[in-house]
Structures are given as C-alpha cells and as structure tokens.
Amino acid sequence: MRIGFLRVLTLALIAGTLAGVVHSRPALAQEPLLPIEDWGRTASSGIDTFLILQTNLQPPYQHLRDGILGGYSISVLDCAFERIGVGYGLALAPRQRNREMVRTGRADGFFLARLSPVLDEYAVPSYPLALEKWVWISKRGSVPDRGGAQSLKPHASAPVGTILGSNEAEWLTEENYQDILHAPSMASLIAQVAKGHVDYVLVDKQSFEIARNELGFGSELFEMRFERYVPLVVYFSKAYLLRYPDFLDDLNNELEFCETLPMTLEPWERAAIERNQLPLIQKMAGASKLIANTRAELTEPAHTAETRKLLDLEWTAKVRGGELSTLASEILENPLSQYLREFQKASGGHVAEVFVFNLRGEVIGMNRVTSDYDQSDEPKHQMTGNINRGHALIDDIRFDASTRAFLSHITVPVIDPDTGNVMAALTVGLDVSSALRPES
C-alpha cells in the first residue's frame, strides 16, 4: 500500500536515515543535490522489499526539473514498481560511482546500463527499459562523407570522443579504440566537435539532439552516422536478489505493460527494411509450402466470437505464467509452425518471431508462442480487409517481452494463387538490433 509519494530535493538530507545505503557527500559544482524519491511500499507478502537505485541525468531517459526526477525510464519504473507493490528510492550520482556503489553493496541497483559481462559478475540485468540509438557525430565538412546514415564506423586508430564513464565509453574501449577523448558532459562533448577538436564522437541520438538544441546549435552544423542499437537495462545487485529471489521475475513480467511510446522508425530505417527485408518476407508469404500449410489450417472449424475470447484469455494467462494452453501447444506442433521455425532459423538472427493468422485474427501457425492468440484488435489484422498484393504494414519499434528483443513487426498478405484473394496474413518480428546494423 502506498504511504507516501514525495519527490523533493530535501529528502536527500535524510537519505542516510531513510535508506541506510545512500551516503552523504559534498556536492560537486556542476552536480545537482542528490534527490531521493520514497514510495514506502511493501510487497504483498508483507516483507519490506524497499530498495535504492542509483542513476544519473541523461535526458530524455532521466532528467531533473524543479527538484523532481522524471523522464522515460522513470515513468516505466514507476509503473512496474507500482504493479508489483514494491517501494523504491532513487539517488543521483555519476555513472561510474553508481556502478561502484552496487558492486560494494552500498546500493541495490543502478540504471540505465548496457548489457555487460563485467557488470554480470556482481549484478543481474532486468528486461530492457529503453533502446538507445548510437550515432557517430562529426562537424559537417570536417571529415570525408562516407555515404550517409549507414556508413561504417571510424577506424580504431582514429581520435574519437565520448562522455566519461558512459556506456559508449566502455564499448569504445572494448572495440580497441586507443585515442579517446572523455568529456565530462554531453554539452562539453558537443562543444569539442563544434570547435573541431575531435573528428568523431559516439553518443545516443536522442540525448545528443536534446543537448544540441539547448546549446542553440543547428542540425546543419553536424553530420550523423548510425552505429548500432543498444538495449538499456536496470542492473540489480546479486546480494539484493538473494534476499528477494522472486523480485526480478515479478518486475520483468510487468515491464511489458509499462512501455509508453514506441521508437519511431526513421525514413532511412524504413527504407532499409523495405529494401533489404520486405522482399524476402513477401517471397516467404508466396512460397508454395507456406500456402499449402496455411490452407490445411484454414480447414479447421471457425470459433464463435465468445469462444475466441475465452481461448485468448486462457492463452495470455498461461503465457504470463510461463506455460502453454492446450490450443497453443497444438498450434506449435502443426506443420505450418514447423515450417515457420525453419524460416526463423534461416534468418541469421534477423527474425525473432514469425506467425500466421487467419482473416478472423486467430493465430494458426507460429515459430514460438505469441503473447496472445487473437489479433483481431491489432492494426495488422484490420489491414487484411482491403489489402493488396504489394501492400505491407511496417510497425514502429517496440520491446517484445516474449522474445526479449526490440522488434518492428512487418505484416504482408498470404494470397491464394487460385483466386487472387487474401487467405491469411504473415507477420514477421524483425529484430532491429540485428537487422539494421550497418554491417547487415
């Protein structure tokens, strides 16, 4: 039960009493006073699971306004913790200090972090909260143009810049970059590029654009080249999870219900999918074996709307509990599903899931169990009524908990070659982290 909801800077003054793990320290000149947010809730079991999470300022994921810590990741965590009934507090510190506090047992977790074998030694990651889009930034005209958004990255011997202690800084070191400028903030990093002091910097696209606009720089001053997508997670200390072994599973189960907005596909990303992935998916939809297996499943008797609803409720409830309904088990074993599994395995990791649904929106084949059975309330089903041979629906990017990947769902019609009519629809969940890498 919620017994408090305070987001004020003055709580930092009582942090030691409130949580016992947040230590007072002198505030740095460029650093805000450490805020703590206290919900004071307990789990339904009655055991006090209150925990302290460390974070840093990184708009739009975490930002501080009028002493209140907010942002995309904060709203997602608020939602998930509320759903599981666990109280948590937040403290701000530089990223490197956050990791060290978790490693030494002075905090229960920190975010946002990329997946890292080093962090895995003393902490366990949650499902992703966000997906960063890392880009190389250079001053326009200062380096040769190498072909637009999907150009290759700078050579490891090139001087590059990034933010001190950032996820990007760790990755650059792992990639054996030798000449790295570590700036204390995004604003400082952008200034270094604008002055021509460093040729390339590696940053998150959203964070860069926010800081650039705040500094009053126009986009025309910079070149931008895509590097990769990076899922960001919360790392929880292994010591905390030993005390509360069910906590992380409970939190992960709720995160999929707390995402607020998809990541919009940029024009070049959509064009890349249409150029590189869509022709293969459309070829798959017209394959004689897929059509034959689809026809076989369409001979099954139709369910009433009420039966379909009950089957969907059972399906989704079982999936959330890590089980399969009888219907899901039967569909997974049919020839159509077996054929879809072959297609997914042959995709080289680009396809995370693939399924076929009939004109009523019922899944009739799938490589793995989908999160729900009835697709009739989805835009991809609503398009089947007036779809034509050349049409496709390409969705924006969302995190899919069932595959633990960030997907763009692409739906195309399955056409009956004898009549020319739509007989079903094929949906492919494209793993953008794999499929849209420059080297892909």
Q: Check: CB of residue 109 under 8 Å from CB of residue 238.
A: no
Sheet of 422-431, strands arranged across: 363-366, 351-357, 422-431, 405-415, 393-400
Confidence of residue 228 (pLDDT cuts 50, 70, 90): confident
Lowest mean pLDDT among 25-34, 70-79, 87-96, 224-233: 25-34
Asked if residue 60 has a cis previous peptide bond (ω within 30° of 0), the answer is yes
Binned at pLDDT 50, 70 and 90, residue 260 comes out as low
Confidence of residue 246 (pLDDT cuts 50, 70, 90): very high
More confident residue, 363 or 45: 363
**Which residues are 405's β-sheet partners?**
400
Each domain of the chain, given as residue ranges in start order, spans 6-128+232-255, 132-230, 267-435
288-329 pLDDT, tens per residue? 999 999 999 998 888 888 999 999 999 988 887 788 999 999
Q: What are the helix and strand counts (H, E) for the chain?
A: 17, 18
CA distance 100 to 110: 10
367 vs 352: CA distance, rounded Å: 9
- Closest by CA to 408, choosing from 419, 416, 420, 399, is 399
DSSP state of 263: B
Per CATH, 132-230 and 267-435 having the same topology is answered no
3-class SS string, the chain? CCCCCEEEHHHHHHHHHHHCCCCCCCCCCCCCCCCEEECCCCCCCCCCCCEEEEECCECCCEEEECCEEECHHHHHHHHHHHHHCCCEEEEECCHHHHHHHHHCCCCCEEEEEECCHHHHCCEEECCCCEEEEEEEEEECCCCCCCCCCCCCCCCCCCCEEEECCCHHHHHHHHCCCCCEEEECCHHHHHHHHHCCCCCEEEEEHHHHHHHHHHHCCCHHHEEEEEEEEEEEEEEEEHHHHHHCCCHHHHHHHHHCCCCCCCECCCHHHHHHHHHHHHHHHHHHHCCHHHHHHHHHHHCCCCCCHHHHHHHHHHHHHHHHCCCCCHHHHHHHCCHHHHHHHHHHHCCCCCEEEEEEECCCCEEEEECCCCCCCECCCCHHHHHHHHCCCCCCEEEEEEEECCCCEEEEEEEEEEECCCCCCEEEEEEEEEEHHHHCCCCC
More confident: 142 or 362: 362
> What is the distance, to the nearest Å, from the Cα of residue 120 to the centroid of all Cα atoms in its chain?
19
User: How high is the pLDDT of residue 150?
Assistant: 44
The residue among 273 and 11 whose pLDDT is bigger is 273
CB atoms under 10 Å from CB of 334, counted, come to 17
d(CA 201, CA 27): 28
Classified by CATH at the fold level, domain 132-230 comes out as D-Maltodextrin-Binding Protein; domain 2 (3.40.190)
H helix intervals, 263-417: 267-272, 278-285, 288-298, 305-320, 326-332, 335-345, 379-382
The CATH homologous superfamily of the domain defined by 267-435 = PAS domain (3.30.450.20)
- Which of 95-104, 245-254, 374-383 shows the lowest mean pLDDT across its residues? 374-383
Length of the chain: 440
> Which tokens sit at 136?
């190389």
CATH architecture of the domain with residue range 6-128+232-255: 3-Layer(aba) Sandwich (3.40)
Distance CA 33, CA 160 (A): 31
Alpha-carbon gap, residue 111 to 55, rounded angstroms? 5
Residue 14, pLDDT score: 29
